Amino acid sequence: MVVVSSTRPSNAGMDLIRNGGKAFCLLGTDVNDFGNGKVAIVKQSAVSYPLSHVTDLPAGHYFVWAILNRSTPRDPSEISNPLLSYPQEIDLDRAHAGIVKLWLDEQRPPESAPADTEFMKFLQVQSGLLSKFHGRPTYLRAGIVLPSDYYEHPDRRYPVWVRIGGYGARYWSIKSLMAEKSDFRKTWDEADTPRMILVQLDGAGPYGDPYQVDSANNGPYGAALTQELLPEVEKRFRCLPHARVLSGVSTGGWASLALQIFYPDEFDGVWSSCPDPVDFRAFELINIYENTNAYVNAYGFERPSERTVDGEVKLTVRREVQLENVLGRGDSWTLSGEQWCAWNAVFSPRGKDGLPERLWDPQTGAINHAVAEAWKRYDLRLYLQDHWKTLGPKLQGKLHIAAGDADNFYLNNAVHLLDEFLSHANPPYKGTIVYGPRKGHGWSNLAVKPMLQEMQAAVERVNRVRQPSAGQ
């Protein structure tokens, strides 16, 4: 991929692009068998973003650099070290066309785990299940935060709090969470805060965030978590048996809710904030079962994908996916490693070519309803509805969801559809769904301490049911 920017980049990596750096134009092209001494040509006809064509760039002074990403699927340890070139300055004038030569002479160092501290541990466990699926050694990683009194009470055991962050959140994020003087650490160390062992899951997977569930393309992440990683945590640290709770925000909101639903006996409750679409009739603003096109709505207008809390449209689905088309192999969003790619990899069947089948065409947006049918097993509202007779008793009192009613990505719409089912479910679900009027993405109704207090109460309640008194 080639990046053309009007300003010199302070960091020539992918994070500049993902975080909205001042890149004027991106051009993407595939290269095969590319190695030392090989030359790749990126033509002006290459797929581009945000301009439809690089020739639409006005004449002027620019910085140009290249990034070579490995094609998906990838080992998560390879994701953060692409090959880069040093930015070159050019004067763009279409009347005097020329060739810009770029050398990929820089590579970020391979990922390495941070060093353990007294209260933070960084765990890496080879997963037999994922290694067998991918045919190579594959690892699960987690950041562990111990309670402040862990060493004071060597006989005490603690509940496990499984925490899942937003899209692509890495296991080492506990470093900022526990930074000196951080609000979280202040709360974590206070005497009246419930004591738990925090397990921060890793959001790196073969196609982007794996969403911590089993899938045909990523492999058995849910089984690996519940059968391998969490038992290893409980073996290495002093954890209470059968005492696990979940929380998550955004991507983590969906993943934590899905884990509670798909593994109802493994967890004692979930606190999910602004979850990704929990009902695929409102996949953001797309009804994947009834709509014919992802980019254009039933009224003939471009479908928004992001708004401000006041309702101003910031981004459309077509424009957002076009960026992923540039980043993805084959000019397709389904291999970009970004948000829409990750959803498609988690929810879609595996095609005959070994890659995720596409929910819609990258260029036209036409929806493939055969693929949409296959997505139904991950439609959480539909899954609950179809299995409530057996799930309902196991999930009573365990589901807690919060959503801003002005969610920037329209995620509140799907929560309302889930709410319509749960509020009339029989047996009653006895959980909570709370909305924040005029609140956007990332809103939660609970601060850390009251959430931990609710988690502690849930662990005690569930364990009383599991272990009735001798007189019962």
SS3 state at 418: helix
pLDDT per residue as tens digits for the range 56-83: 888 888 989 888 876 566 666 655 667 8
Q: Which amino acid is at 178?
A: M
Q: What is the pLDDT of residues 305-333, one digit of tens each?
A: 999 999 999 999 999 999 999 999 999 99
* Distance between CA atoms of residues 166 and 179, nearest Å: 19
pTM score, whole prediction: 0.94
pLDDT in tens, 234-273: 999 999 998 999 999 999 999 999 999 999 999 999 999 9
Report in angstroms the alpha-carbon separations of 129 from 21, 223, 224, 240: 39, 8, 6, 25
CA neighbours closer than 13 Å in the CB half-sphere of residue 112: 6
> What contacts 355, CB < 8 A, 6 or more positions away?
217, 334, 335
State the helix-helix crossing angle for 411-422 and 380-395, rounded to 10 degrees. 40
**Strand 304-307 and strand 270-273: pairing?**
unpaired
Per-residue pLDDT at 280 exceeds 70: yes
Is pLDDT above 90 for 104?
no
Among 40-49, 100-109, 119-128, 329-338, where is mean pLDDT lowest?
Answer: 100-109
pLDDT in tens, 45-63: 899 998 888 888 888 889 8
Cα first-last separation, the chain: 67
Evaluate if residue 471 carries a pLDDT over 70: no
pLDDT at 365 over 80: yes
Alpha-carbon gap, residue 53 to 59, rounded angstroms: 14
Q: For each of the domains in the chain, give its residue range(s) and CATH number, in order of start.
A: 2-107 (no CATH), 120-279+379-466 (3.40.50.1820), 281-378 (no CATH)
Say if residues 347 and 341 touch (Cβ distance below 8 Å). Answer: no
